[in-house]
């Protein structure tokens, strides 16, 4: 033994502590960067998953919008097929409206109509105003006939007045849409 203390305390303990410290520093130098890379990678994975989910939602939204656009395009094509031509279908449409009014037993008055150009469309709107008299059930029957009509008709306005005897007077404004003839298109363009 030496005068300062046992050999293991003076020489071996400091050497073991230095080796332990070097090992700890080496361990930290080796595992520290890996730990931070893994932690950063996990954060990036979560961010990528969230971004992928947002992109999936955006793609789904775009697919739904594309389906709606395709459906609207098909509806427009069907509408143009349903809209008759001005020359061939104007008079039959007006007669069909009066026939629909007479079918449930209504008494139609003098009809009036006016033609309007529809902006940015290849059709013209024919507004038909038709006064009708009859019972409430007959008026409802007329509106059902309009709804079932194979022609493209819209009910734009309805004004009803009830009489004390149980009958009613109805002022109906309907619209029919027709494709104008080439001559009609030229006149409409000149009128602009």
Res. 184: pLDDT tops 70: no
Mean per-residue pLDDT, 149-156: 86
pLDDT of residue 62: 95
pLDDT of residue 139: 83
C-alpha dist (Å) from residue 187 to 90, 133, 135? 17, 37, 43
pLDDT of residue 185: 54
How far is the first Cα of the chain from the last one, in angstroms, to the nearest whole number? 120
pTM above 0.75, yes or no: no
Pick from 66-70, 83-87, 122-126: least confident = 83-87
- Measured CA to CA, the distance from residue 121 to residue 152 in angstroms comes to 15
User: Pick from 115, 113, 117: which is nearest to 130 by CA?
Assistant: 113
pLDDT of residue 191: 54
User: Pick from 135, 90, 133, 94: which is nearest to 111 by CA?
Assistant: 94
User: Pick from 150, 149, 134: which is nearest to 102 by CA?
Assistant: 134
pLDDT tens digits, one per residue of 131-151? 888 877 888 888 888 888 888
Structure tokens given for 58:
């955006």
pLDDT of residue 189: 56
Taken in order 35, 37, 40, 46, is the CA torsion positive or negative? negative
In contact, 127 and 153? CB cutoff 8 Å: no
Taken in order 177, 181, 185, 191, is the CA torsion positive or negative? negative
Q: Where residue 59 falls among pLDDT bands split at 50, 70, 90?
A: very high
3-state secondary structure (DSSP) of residue 153? strand
């Amino acid at each position: 033994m030496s005068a300062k203390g046992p050999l293991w305390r003076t020489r071996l303990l400091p050497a073991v502590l230095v080796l332990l410290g070097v090992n700890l520093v080496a361990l930290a130098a080796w595992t520290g960067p890996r730990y931070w890379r893994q932690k950063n990678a996990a954060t990036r994975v979560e961010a990528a998953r969230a971004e992928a989910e947002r992109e999936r939602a955006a793609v789904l939204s775009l697919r739904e919008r594309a389906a709606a656009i395709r459906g609207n395009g098909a509806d427009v094509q069907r509408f143009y097929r349903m809209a008759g031509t001005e020359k061939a279908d104007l008079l039959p449409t007006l007669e069909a409206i009066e026939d629909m009014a007479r079918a449930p037993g209504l008494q139609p008055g003098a009809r009036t109509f006016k033609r309007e150009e529809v902006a940015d469309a290849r059709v013209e709107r024919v507004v038909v105003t038709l006064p009708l008299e009859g019972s409430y059930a007959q008026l409802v029957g007329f509106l059902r006939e309009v709804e079932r009509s194979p022609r493209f008709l819209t009910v734009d306005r309805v004004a009803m007045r009830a009489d004390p005897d149980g009958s009613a007077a109805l002022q109906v404004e309907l619209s029919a849409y027709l494709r104008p003839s080439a001559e009609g298109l030229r006149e409409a363009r000149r009128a602009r």
